[in-house]
Amino acid sequence: MSGFQIRRAADHELERVVRLRWLWTRERGQDAGDEQRHMRAAAAWAREHRETHLPHIAVDTDDTVIGMAWLALTPRVATTTSLTRVSGDLQSCYVLPHWRGKGVGGALVRSVLDTARAVGLSTSRCTPPTTAPSSTLATGSSSTHFCSGPT
């Protein structure tokens, strides 16, 4: 990887991670509200949900957070053969505009896939929005779905 690293976000980095969501909202021309209030509230939310929402980040050589992708884990309905099924969704995959096209988004997606496998999820389907170009998976809003156990 050139000029960036991918890793799971640490607790002390969450404010910087959730700031990307604020920037993304502004980039889309929407009202993002107060930046500091969002960062405090969203980081607190992330801490409360740390067992089910796993943030992955891309950082540059100065340790600036330049991208994010979250793995959200959700219990699934039991089947006759499994009472403990879990699904995972890739959520909020975002890369700062000047880092797009440099492999950051793809590296984030691979990191989420690696984590999904590590926690016991098997990749079963990928469902980006039908209206999205293929590059959206790495740079914008998308949803990739992983399932464990029989679907």
Largest CA distance in the chain: 51
Which pLDDT band holds residue 124 (cuts at 50, 70, 90)? Answer: very low
**Is the per-residue pLDDT at 1 higher than 70?**
no
Is it the case that residue 25 has pLDDT exceeding 70? yes
Residue 146: which pLDDT band, with cuts at 50, 70 and 90? low
Q: Which residue has the higher pLDDT, 72 or 134?
A: 72
State the Rg of the chain over Cα: 16
Beta-carbon contacts of 25 under 8 Å, excluding residues fewer than 6 positions away, are 31, 32
13 vs 58: CA distance, rounded Å: 12
CATH of domain 4-147: 3.40.630.30
